[in-house]
Amino acid sequence: MNANNPYKYKLSIITATYNAIEHLPKLIECLRNQEDKDFEWVVADGASTDGTLELLESITDLNIVITSQEDFGIYDALNRGIKASSGEFYLTMGADDLLYPNAVKEYRNAIDDKVDVITASIKIGNEISQAGSRGKSWFAAQFAYVSGHAVGSLFRKSLHKRYGYYSRKFPIAADQLFILKVCKAGAATKVIKPIVGEHILVGVSSFDVLGTMTEYYRVQLLTGENKFIQTALFILRLLKHYRRLK
C-alpha cells in the first residue's frame, strides 16, 4: 500500500443528539447521498425520548454506531462519541447540519500521513467561511485556523491523547479551546478550498450571546492572547450586542 494513500485511514462522522427527530431525516439523507460512502457514523445520544433512537436503530444502509445515555451536554456527548469511534480521523456534525455530496470524498482525498487537521470551506448562515478569512487569532480565535468546528474541520483522533478531550468547563466554547490549543501547539493543518456543507446556527451560541462572548473571552486568555486587547474587544462586543444580551 502506498504510504501516502489517504484511503488507508478510516473516517468517522460524529453527531451528538437529543430529541432530534425533527432534524435527523435531512442529515440521514445527506449521508446517504455521499459520493464516497466509506465512513462510520457515530451517534452519541443523550437518552432521547421523542423517537430519535427508534429512527436511528431502523437504519440499515449506513455504517452506524449508536450510544445513548444521559450526558452533560454536547461536548460530553462528543467525547463519548470520539471514544466509541474507530476512525483515525473524525468530523463532527450537528443533527441539523448538512454535508454536500462531495464532502467525505474531499476530506479523504486530503488526508496524508503528516496532517492533523484538515479544514474546508463551509456555509454558515448566508456567508462562506474559510480558514483565516476573519483575521488573526487575537481577533478571530479559531477562525484564524479553521472555517469552523462542525462540518468544516477533520481532526486526527489521536490529538486528544496529547491535548485532552473537549472541556466540560466550557459548555459553549469547548471546541474553540481545543482547536486553539492544538493549532497554536503546531498541529499540522491543511486548508482545502471545496465547499463541503452547511453549519446551521441553532445551538446555544446562537441565543446565549452573553455566555458565548464570556466563554470566548476566557478561552482567548487561556490560550495566551494579550489580556488588555482581549478585554477591550470583550467590552466593545458587549456594547455592540447589548440589545441582545440576556
Return the CATH number at 75. 3.90.550.10
- 165 and 53 in a common domain: yes
- pLDDT of res. 7: 76
- 178 and 61 in a common domain: yes
* Helix residue ranges, H only, 85-208: 103-110, 137-140, 159-163, 174-184
- Total domains in the chain come to 2
Give residue 246's pLDDT band: very low, low, confident or very high (50, 70, 90). Answer: low
- 196 and 164 in a common domain: yes
Residue 148, domain member (yes or no): yes
pLDDT tens per residue, range 222-232: 999 999 999 99
pLDDT tens per residue, range 57-114: 999 999 999 999 999 999 999 999 999 999 999 999 999 999 999 999 999 999 999 9
pLDDT tens per residue, range 203-212: 555 568 899 9
Residue 216, domain member (yes or no): yes
- 184 and 67 in a common domain: yes
- 217 and 133 in a common domain: no
Closest-CA residue to 94 (of 24, 37, 161) = 24
Residue 243, domain member (yes or no): yes
- 226 and 145 in a common domain: no
- 100 and 194 in a common domain: yes
Closest-CA residue to 63 (of 6, 7, 118, 11) = 11
Please check whether residue 89 is in contact with residue 157, taking contact to mean a CB–CB distance below 8 angstroms.
yes
Please check whether residue 129 is in contact with residue 121, taking contact to mean a CB–CB distance below 8 angstroms.
yes
Residue 171, domain member (yes or no): yes
CA 50 from chain centre, in angstroms, equals 24
Residue 1, domain member (yes or no): no
- 245 and 144 in a common domain: no
Give residue 5's pLDDT band: very low, low, confident or very high (50, 70, 90). Answer: low
| Domain range enclosing 223 | 207-246
Residue 29 has pLDDT above 90, yes or no: yes
- 237 and 149 in a common domain: no
Please check whether residue 91 is in contact with residue 27, taking contact to mean a CB–CB distance below 8 angstroms.
no
Look at the pTM and tell me if it is higher than 0.75.
yes
Beta bridge partners of 127: 124
pLDDT tens per residue, range 145-194: 999 999 999 999 999 999 999 999 999 999 999 999 999 999 999 999 99
Joined together, the cell numbers standing for residue 206 give: 446562537
Give residue 6's pLDDT band: very low, low, confident or very high (50, 70, 90). Answer: low
Residue 28, domain member (yes or no): yes
- 242 and 155 in a common domain: no
pLDDT > 70 in the chain, percent:
94
Give residue 2's pLDDT band: very low, low, confident or very high (50, 70, 90). Answer: very low
Give residue 4's pLDDT band: very low, low, confident or very high (50, 70, 90). Answer: low
Closest-CA residue to 205 (of 195, 197, 215) = 215
- 40 and 15 in a common domain: yes
Residue 34 has pLDDT above 90, yes or no: yes
Q: Average per-residue pLDDT in the chain? A: 93
Written as one string, the DSSP assignment of 109-130 is HH--TT-SEEEEEEEETTEEE-
- 146 and 37 in a common domain: yes
